[in-house]
Amino acid sequence: MKETKPVMSGAEIFFECLKREKVEIVFGYPGGATLKIYEKLYDVDFLKHILVRHEQGATHMAEGYAKATGKVGVVLVTSGPGATNTVTGIADAYMDSVPIVVFTGQVATHLIGNDAFQEADIVGITRPITKHNFLVRDISELASSIRKAFYIASTGRPGPVLVDLPKDVINSVCEFEYPEKVEMRGYKPNLLGHQNQIKKAAERIRKAKRPLLYVGGGVIMSGGYRELHLLAKENNLPVTMTLQGLGAFPMSDPQSLGMLGMHGTYWANQAVNNCDLLVSLGARFDDRVTGKIDAFATGAYKIHVDIDPTCIDKNVVVDLPIVGDVKHVLAELAAEISSPPKIEEWWEQIHKWQEECPLHYEKHDGKLRSEFILEKLSEFTKGEAVIVTDVGQHQMWTSQYYKFNHPRSHLTSGGLGTMGFSVPASIGAAFAIKDRPVISISGDGGFQMNMQELITAVYHKLPVKFIIINNSFLGMVRQWQELFHAEKYSFTDLSDSNPDFQKLGEAFGMKSFFTNRPEEVDSILEEMMQIKDGPSLAEFRVEKEDMVFPIIPSGATIKEMMTKRLNPKEMI
């Protein structure tokens, strides 16, 4: 006898699929096209729905949740403006390979293309910024599309997937069957690296005199940090990390050289420039890392491990590509190396560079500086907190002064550089992370880009610590204006146009702090850490015109690295 399948509505199928995908939390905002889903949601008890205040906030929350946990973040919004508001978050997730699935409502199929109320071609709009997207045109395709969406988002090189759900599809009924396996002949990520290539790489590492591991976000995403640790420790290899890679290897370990690239440490960049073997692990040779391509690690034999073949030879042509899951390749690589390389001289040289030009800032003039706050924060939390930064100077200072000791504890918008990321992303992370403090760090500019979500944190009593490093400027842009744009401070001065952040925090119902004095930083941080039944906010009013050093100007080489503010004569 034929097995009978249950007949379900589109909305019921939708939630049944989320249940099978073990979704625990959805960030969303209801609207006309998703009313039926929200009607059904009323009876759903296996997941938590978080009502956001703006759909962009929902996508960043889903990103924060996904980056902190490694699980897929889920967003549910309505058609038209609801859908278009997710675009920045989707683009952000695409650039940083964050697994999220965005469900958008859509007008009924017979109205598509008619300029119907709240209609937007979101599948067309998001095609270049999603790993894949679906327009579900018939209810018979609903379950399989959702199954594929989660599979595509979370496997291979992760990324955002959008599923567009027309209203009539959601309202109609169909027999429900959840596909056990995903069958896509065009999508089969290659997980195992090529054996011979791995053997060659191991041999190169064994023989290297000046090796360097260049670690990107891929090591964290693949869960390969234990394997990385093993490989680095057993062979005494120096490790430098990209912005997204911070935390993949403990930064308090002496083998960590910190971040490389434009605002990376002097010694990490010197090491890149002078190494004879560069092993790139889950990183993509971004222009903020390489600077001038022709001058990047010119003397090095380059090995590139990445799961995405398009990353290989895209920016920098490498000598030995290994396409595969970096966790798997790292494990094989560690097992394959018969004896550690002899690199004492190399380490001596690196230590010399470290002494030559350490990170520094003015500590003795009594003024409050961002670097000081971040250094304090690092000491205070012992590198154990989940730090969610926004975009700009504070983000770079965090990468320099906060000693990340764990993977998935540094969440930031790297590739797209989305201001307004930190506030919602920290909220998304805080829904999942309960055993460690979640700290959002923003500048005064970026904070104002998604501050509507503060109420989401207050309402859900999430103990996020919102820290605003307020220099009354769009500081990074100001820095570039000073250095490269004739000191024309065009529209970057917010001194007269910033709100009172402390009062703002209080209006949202948060305990809020303010200081512009270094000696008060400790006590404020301490008090914030004690607040566990809801969010708190602190505005640190810092020096207005401090700059992030070192800096290698865009497209330049380490020779052009500036390590301190020069007077105008020196600059020429």
Partner 1 sequence: MKHTISVLVENQFGTFNRVVTMFSGKGFNVHSMSIGETESPEISRMTIVTEGDDKIIEQVVKQLNRLIDTIKVVDLSGSPKVERELALITVFYQKGNRADIISVSNIFRGNIVDINNKTITIEITGPPDKIEAAVNVLEGYGIKEMARSGTVALKRGEQVKGDKKELQQNNIQV
Which one of 203, 234, 253, 313 is in contact with partner 1 (CB under 8 A)?
313
List all residues 6 or more positions away from 32 whose beta carbon is below 8 Å from its beta carbon.
78, 79, 105, 117, 118, 167
We find the least distance from the C-beta atom of residue 156 to partner 1, in angstroms, to be 9
Q: Which helix (H) or strand (E) holds 502?
A: helix 501-507
We find the least distance from the C-beta atom of residue 312 to partner 1, in angstroms, to be 8
Active-site option among 167, 302, 327, 403:
167
We find the least distance from the C-beta atom of residue 139 to partner 1, in angstroms, to be 15
Closest to 88 measured CA to CA, from 493, 407, 413, 534: 413
Q: How far is CA 375 from the centre of its chain?
A: 21
We find the least distance from the C-beta atom of residue 147 to partner 1, in angstroms, to be 14
Active-site option among 5, 19, 46, 117:
117
Which one of 317, 335, 507, 566 is in contact with partner 1 (CB under 8 A)?
317
Q: Active site includes 63?
A: no
List all residues 6 or more positions away from 334 whose beta carbon is below 8 Å from its beta carbon.
227, 230, 231, 234
In degrees, to the nearest 5, what angle opens at C-alpha 185 toward C-alphas 182 and 190? Answer: 85
* Region binding partner 1 by CB under 8 A among candidate stretches 68-76, 238-246, 303-311, 410-418: 303-311
Site string for partner 1, 127-166 (x = CB under 8 A): xx--xx--x-x--------------x--------------
Look at the block and give the residue holding tokens 């490498």: 318
Cβ closer to partner 1: 128 or 366?
128
Closest to 393 measured CA to CA, from 465, 478, 502: 478
Please write down the long-range contacts of 456-459, taking CB distance under 8 Å and 24 or more positions apart.
456/50, 456/51, 456/52, 456/53, 456/57, 456/61, 456/424, 456/427, 457/426, 457/427, 457/430, 457/534, 457/535, 458/508, 458/509, 458/510, 458/534, 458/535
We find the least distance from the C-beta atom of residue 286 to partner 1, in angstroms, to be 16
Collapse the DSSP code of 169 into the 3-class scheme (helix H, G, I; strand E, B; otherwise coil) and give the result: helix
Residue 293 sits in the site that holds partner 1 (CB under 8 A): no
Cβ closer to partner 1: 254 or 309?
309
What are the structure tokens assigned to 369, written together?
């500086």
Active-site option among 71, 118, 292, 367:
118
We find the least distance from the C-beta atom of residue 426 to partner 1, in angstroms, to be 31
Rounded to 10 degrees, what is the CA torsion of 415, 419, 420, 423?
70
Site string for partner 1, 167-186 (x = CB under 8 A): ----------------xxxx
Cβ closer to partner 1: 137 or 376?
137
Q: Site for partner 1 (CB under 8 A): how many residues?
A: 21
Q: Active site includes 476?
A: yes
- Determine contact, residues 242/259, Cβ cutoff 8 Å: yes
- Determine contact, residues 382/406, Cβ cutoff 8 Å: no
Cβ closer to partner 1: 308 or 384?
308
Cβ closer to partner 1: 294 or 348?
294
Cβ closer to partner 1: 187 or 347?
187
Active-site option among 95, 262, 476, 528:
476
* Region binding partner 1 by CB under 8 A among candidate stretches 233-241, 309-317, 435-443, 551-559: 309-317
* Residues taking part in catalysis: 55, 117-118, 167, 476
Q: Which residues bind partner 1 (CB under 8 A)?
A: 123-124, 127-128, 131-132, 135, 137, 152, 183-187, 308-310, 312-314, 317
